Each structure stands twice: as C-alpha cells, then as structure tokens.
Structure 1
C-alpha cells in the first residue's frame, strides 16, 4: 500500500507596506533588515509616483518568524510575487537591496513577464568566499548584541562616513545599534545571503537594469555589485561612495538615482559613474 503524500500547506502571506498609487513598484529588502530599516526614508518619495508594495521577510519587520522553515531564493521570490498579486499588480518595476537583489534577479528570471525594470542596490551575486565568511561572522555574533553592533559598524558603514562622525555621534550610533533588538530572522537571512548564487541566470534578465554599487561596502564586496552589472545584458552601473547603507550615508544621491531610473529606465542616469 502506497502512503498518501503529505497535504500541501500554503505559506502564509508576508506582512507588507503598501503606499501610493500608479504603476506598481515591488521592493525587496536585505538580510537582517526590514521594509522600515532599508526603505523607510524613501517610501514617501517612491509612493508619490508608484503603488509601492514592500513585504517583510519572515522574522523581519511585521512578518513573524517561521522556525524550522528552509527558506530559499525561490520561496522568497514566489512570496514577494504573491504580495504583488494580492495588491493587484499585473506588472511592476522591481528594486532589490543586498540579499534582495538576488531575490529580485530570481523574480525577473522565474517570472519575466511581470517585471518592467530592475534596480539592484549593493547586491549579492554569489560565489564570494569573503561574503560567506562575513555572513557566518554576523550569524555567530547574533547572540551578542554589543559585539554585533561593533561588527556592523565596522563592515556595514563606509569608512569615509564613519570617520566623519563626531565622537558623540559615533558613541550614540553604537549605543543605539547595541540596544536594537536582533531580528528573529537574521540568522537564516544571512545564511541565505552567504550561499545565494544568481550568477548563472543573469544573462536571462531581459529588462532595463541599473546596478548601484556602494564602493566602500565592507559587507557585500563591490565586486559582487560589478558582477551583477557585467552579467546582465545592457545593465548600467552607477557608483556611490558609501558603505553598505547608502540610504543612511548618501540618501539624496540615492533618491535621485532611484527616481530618475523609475521615470525613464531606458535613459542613461545623470549620475552614471562614481559620485
């Protein structure tokens, strides 16, 4: 007698932020972040031009953790697409940050008819031993918030920005980071960021693409960003002198790049090159 297959249990919908009106814009955040952490300062500007749908991964923001789940790029891609479906987006522009860049590439290659354009910020391409080591270090430090804060300051922010802080600003930032709760999903998200690899599928991306590289990124090496730009046919590269958090360090310039690209994805960005 053959055992019956286990019943299929659909994955729960991800919590999501929805703002604005007009053409759809789907946002994919980074490992250990959330919609608020990674996109918060940009949401009002983006929502002035687009219907923004921004889901939180399990264990981030308002999405509960899912202990024991084996998360993958395919799963995240499909769950973000489900969020877009639930909000009535037939197609959309797609912006991915850090791990979210790999998720965005997977969406664009698994569901090519849905994506109008692609912007990848400080993104993971894959195949980096250094990124794997940094992800492992972050996971190991998750149980030690003060040490994790110091590690994140050292690799997450650009040296130019950090060294320009006053002693009071630096101490306040470090204290705030040490006091912040560690997201429940940080471990699996950094594990996925360290082993994700979308290099083999980049050639199948067939939409206008802008890759924004953070040239002082100590967490996702800039060579990862450049690999995305090299691998995607016709992709353009813009560089920001910043660490892994341009939304903190170079917000006005990042806003201009995003809004300019969304206004005309086929146009050469005014800030192509290093700024």
Structure 2
C-alpha cells in the first residue's frame, strides 16, 4: 500500500500486474479491494493496475469537515496517476467512479490516454433517480440492516441474486455497511452533475451500460455515450454491479479496447 497527498488529504493506493498503467476508480460506498476483486485478476497479465481508495473509503480519510466534492476526488485520482507514472494512464471507473473518471479526463486530458466508464451517469436530477438515492441515504441513518438489504437487492440482477446461497446473500448484505464515508459519498451521488464537463474529454472513450441496472438505469449510460465526442458504447446483460456479475465479459471489453 502506498500513499499520496493532495489538497491536504491522504490517498491510499495499490499497484500490481505488468504492462501499461490502468487506473481503476471504485464506486461509492465501496473500496478498490472489494469492488475489483473479481475483475482485477483478469487484467493483471496485460496491465499494471493502480487501485486508489478515494476519500471515505479504505484507509483514505474524509477531508476535514467531512464534506466530499467532485473536484477533491478528481484531484485525488490525478495525484495518484502522477505518483505512479510519468506517462498518461488508461483510466476506468464504475458507478460514481465513472463520474469521477470522466471528470478527471475532462480536467486533466494530458493524464489520460483512454477512458472507460462503467455504469456511470452525467446527471441524476430526474425524480426517480433522486428518490432512489434519497431513500438509500435515509436508510443509512435510520436502519442499517435495511440499508444493506436495499442496495444489495438493487445493485444485482434478479438472476444473479437467485443463484446465491442464503449464506452468500448474507455475506453480500454484510459487505454493504453504512460507514460515515459511505454516507458522504451518497451525498455526492445525489448532487453530482458533469454534463458541462463532457465536451472537454479528448481521450478515446468506451462507455459500458448494464441492461438490468436498477441503481443507475441504462439510459444514463446511453446519455453519457451520446454526450462524449467520438465515444464507443457496449451493453452487458446484468445489474449495476457489472464488476461481479460479468467480470470476464467486462475484462474482454477492456482488453480489446485498450489494445
């Protein structure tokens, strides 16, 4: 585990593998170890993976005052990229990580060679999306057990959940605990809007949507694709947690796009 400092905050990150540098940005309420546990082993033969935990996840603390901003997280990802190589990196993010990755590519085009956005969004101001994130956030304060069950049931497709044993499902619930970092990250989920930044992305981009996504419905991924100049688009038949439901198919898409 390595550490980089930026804007007075610590960012803890790991590197593993061999080949060109690929920086992976995890989603909200998760960390790199849990988010990329199924995907990372499928990538390390071809890429040197950089997996930071941004503020509020893993060992990376929240900033003083606790409030998270998109610009802070962008600078944390940019600082991690600079700390690991003097060459542009390939950058991939999932869920809120996709939003952060897109904003990083817009703010620091010289740092990003190619960009991959998985289950991301440009805005979430429609009533359904606001209702979903608001309920998720409220459960974090009022009922941690229901919070864990709620996001687990929505983040995976019905078929994927039905294939789990009772014990496996209980483990999935337990992995979704409402920490203070998770609360602050959901607060950011509720307000983040990157529509004005997308036209500034110059890196060749692949957007990946999930047809059964009930956390960030697939029309958000399609909107991202339509808003990013010269981007490519692919869809996988799964829920929001593409990283665990379709790791092999996703790794194939990533490897093909980057090579």
TM-score (norm 1): 0.85
Matched, 1:234 2:233: no
**Counterpart mapping for 1:4-15 below 5 A:** 10-15=7-12
Aligned residue number for residue 213 of structure 2: 217
Larger Rg: 1
Unpaired runs of 5+ residues, structure 1, are: 1-8, 264-275
Q: 1:262 to 1:117 in 2, by over 3 A?
A: same
Aligned residue number for residue 194 of structure 1: 190
Q: 1:137 to 1:64 in 2, by over 3 A?
A: same
Structure 1 residue 93 displacement after superposition: 0.6
Q: Using the alignment, how far apart are the partners of 1:38 and 1:61 within structure 2?
A: 11
Unpaired runs of 5+ residues, structure 2, are: 1-5
Aligned residue number for residue 257 of structure 1: 253
Which structure has the highest strand share of the two? 2
Aligned partner of 1:76 among 67, 70, 73 = 73
Aligned residue number for residue 157 of structure 1: 156
Aligned residue number for residue 179 of structure 1: 174
Q: Could you say what secondary structure the match of 1:54 adopts?
A: strand
Q: Could you say what secondary structure the match of 1:18 adopts?
A: strand
Structure 1 residue 41 displacement after superposition: 1.7
TM-score (norm 2): 0.90
Quick check: 111-120 or 83-92, which moved more?
Answer: 83-92
Q: Could you say what secondary structure the match of 1:13 adopts?
A: strand
Structure 1 residue 190 displacement after superposition: 1.1
Structure 1 residue 114 displacement after superposition: 1.3
Structure 1 residue 88 displacement after superposition: 2.5
Structure 1 residue 216 displacement after superposition: 0.6
* 8 Å Cα contact 2:214-2:240 kept in structure 1: yes
**Counterpart mapping for 1:44-193 below 5 A:** 44-66=41-63, 68-129=65-126, 130-143=128-141, 144-162=143-161, 164-165=162-163, 169=165, 171-180=166-175, 181-193=177-189
Q: Could you say what secondary structure the match of 2:54 adopts?
A: coil
Q: Using the alignment, how far apart are the partners of 2:86 and 2:238 within structure 1?
A: 33
* 8 Å Cα contact 1:93-1:117 kept in structure 2: yes
* 8 Å Cα contact 1:124-1:193 kept in structure 2: no
Q: Using the alignment, how far apart are the partners of 1:25 and 1:251 within structure 2?
A: 16
* 8 Å Cα contact 1:149-1:174 kept in structure 2: no
> How many residues align structurally?
251
